[in-house]
Structure 1
Amino acid sequence: METATRPEAATRPIELSGPVDAVVFDFDGVVVDSVELKVEAFRDMYREYGADVMDAVEAYQRYHGGMSRMKKFAYFEAELIGRPADQARIDELCAAYSALVEEKVCICPLIAGAEAFLETFACRIPFYVISGTPEAELNRIADRRGVSKYFRRLRGSPMSKEEGIEEFLSDGPYSRDRVVMIGDAITDYDAAVATRIGFVGISPPDVQHFFPDGTRVIPDLTTLAAEIGHR
């Protein structure tokens, strides 16, 4: 089974050259405070298999937070349960998981500082979202929460983070050293590295993160404006 460890990255996100011209957000754990409820939902999906499997599911989810749930379930089924799943089984698991989490994500709190930051800067800076959440579900949640208005576009799975960022960059022209990804998972960090844009990590002080040493990490969005060169 994969372990929740990571060697020092061979490459890093680009250093920002000045105030950013565009911001790409992950959604869960970055805009909405939904990380823990999604962790608990994944644990519930595998409760019948006992504590060891549930703990392994949780560890994988915490490390691979931004990954598509389809890929996660394929891994859980094959590596933890020992029964490679066909697409019908994966779809069934994804539907059950959505039933557990969608309503909760619609009513959970926003991340501290998110509302003030989005309200203040959405008229000045283009904002985008690329999430591992299925795109239709992502847009339903954003609409119900009233945050869709802040973003030029919200994209979700099956689009990858890298594909989403490249699509957003084509809206420019944006200089890559003045575009930043805001994320709470290694998936977000790796996407910033792969697309050669900046990165700021989000991690509460009491939660372990897996970003390499030297990564710019803040606990929430209350200080994000200063981190990206805006006041």
Structure 2
Amino acid sequence: MPSPIRQEFDLSGPADATRIKAIAFDFDGVILDSVQLKADLFIDCYGGRLDESQKAAILAYQAQHGGMGRVEKFRHFERNVFGRIPDEATIAGLTNQYSTLLMARIASCSELPGARAFLERTSTQLSLHLVSGTAHHDLVAITAQRRLDRYFDTIVGSPTAKADAFAHIVRSGRWLPDQVLAIGDSMTEFHAAAHTGMPFVGIVAANEPNPFPRTIAVFQDLDALSRAWPHLELAPAPAGNG
């Protein structure tokens, strides 16, 4: 059985994959190799008006809050990076520019290893849902262009908060929270899963640090997760981190 990147379980009563009835996937960094593009777009939206410390602050915040919607991020940048009171007209202009750049460049991003095969297999057995910080209208368009939409029972993007989306999935399927698995690459999804009481699996690229607690199973991509699935033990996201 392939091992997670870091398999240091310290579980009390772990669940196994056979209990899972539904999966809530993040998009960027889990299905699509678009994390770096998304980060670069925030820099590009400000053109040449950034110094190196401002660029570093934007990239650091994006790395920590990858699953957050772009409107909230631009508000944070305006207030905390530039020291300005966020102006809604400015925020609207930046988010529209971001959307235009994203739709022009997203086609260059490849799917991550094993992503489509994992969706193809699990969609015949489980209820699959896509929950992303990408603006909803962009997310719907991107998944339709790539014919990924056919795998999901629901697709939810920003401005819906991930915790709200997760809770709705649990309620709509009349499942228990521990029957719905969240798969993500950032602490945003992890905290949302903790808030909802769902188990969580992290996706962390081989060259990236693992941000998740040691009780969380972490895999390099969905290909590795697929190979480990028959023997997978799932830890709940600790509620203290939600």
TM-score (structure 2 length as normaliser): 0.85
After superposition, the Cα gap between the structure-2 partners of 1:122 and 1:212, relative to the gap in structure 1 and judged at 3 Å, is: same
Question: What's the counterpart of residue 197 of structure 1?
Answer: 198
After superposition, the Cα gap between the structure-2 partners of 1:220 and 1:18, relative to the gap in structure 1 and judged at 3 Å, is: closer
Cα offset, 1:85, TM superposition: 1.5
Q: Which runs of 4+ in 1 moved over 6 A?
A: none
Contact 2:16/2:231 (8 A) holds in 1? no
Structure 1 residue 166 corresponds to structure 2 residue 167 = yes
Q: Deviations for 1:166-211, whole angstroms, at most 9, x for unmatched residues?
A: 1111222222222110000000000000000010011111012322
After superposition, the Cα gap between the structure-2 partners of 1:95 and 1:164, relative to the gap in structure 1 and judged at 3 Å, is: same
Contact 1:16/1:179 (8 A) holds in 2? no
Cα offset, 1:229, TM superposition: 4.0
Root-mean-square deviation (Å) = 1.9
Q: May I ask how many residue pairs the two structures share in their alignment?
A: 219
Q: Percent identity?
A: 35
Cα offset, 1:49, TM superposition: 1.7
Question: What's the counterpart of residue 74 of structure 2?
Answer: 73
Cα offset, 1:226, TM superposition: 4.8
Question: What's the counterpart of residue 7 of structure 1?
Answer: none
Structure 1 residue 139 corresponds to structure 2 residue 108 = no
Cα offset, 1:213, TM superposition: 2.7
Look up the SS of the partner of 1:66 in the other structure.
coil
How far apart are the structure 2 equivalents of 1:204 and 1:17?
24
Question: What's the counterpart of residue 111 of structure 2?
Answer: 110
Structure 1 residue 23 corresponds to structure 2 residue 33 = no
How far apart are the structure 2 equivalents of 1:108 and 1:18?
30
After superposition, the Cα gap between the structure-2 partners of 1:149 and 1:62, relative to the gap in structure 1 and judged at 3 Å, is: same
Structure 1 residue 89 corresponds to structure 2 residue 93 = no
How far apart are the structure 2 equivalents of 1:152 and 1:210?
29
Q: Deviations for 1:74-117, whole angstroms, at most 9, x for unmatched residues?
A: 01001111111122211111011111222322341111100111
Q: Deviations for 1:42-87, whole angstroms, at most 9, x for unmatched residues?
A: 2223342211100110000001000011111001001111111122
Question: What's the counterpart of residue 45 of structure 1?
Answer: 45
1:182-193 aligned at under 5 Å gives the runs: 182-193=183-194
Q: Deviations for 1:135-186, whole angstroms, at most 9, x for unmatched residues?
A: 1110001000110000001001111001111111122222222211000000
How far apart are the structure 1 equivalents of 2:229 and 2:195?
20
**Any gaps of 5 or more consecutive residues in structure 1?**
1-11
Structure 1 residue 120 corresponds to structure 2 residue 121 = yes
Of 61-70 and 104-113, deviating more is 104-113
Look up the SS of the partner of 2:163 in the other structure.
helix
How far apart are the structure 1 equivalents of 2:178 and 2:207?
30
User: Residue type of the partner of 1:189?
Assistant: F
How far apart are the structure 2 equivalents of 1:149 and 1:134?
19
Contact 1:32/1:105 (8 A) holds in 2? no
How far apart are the structure 2 equivalents of 1:125 and 1:230?
17
Contact 2:17/2:231 (8 A) holds in 1? no
**Any gaps of 5 or more consecutive residues in structure 2?**
1-10, 233-242
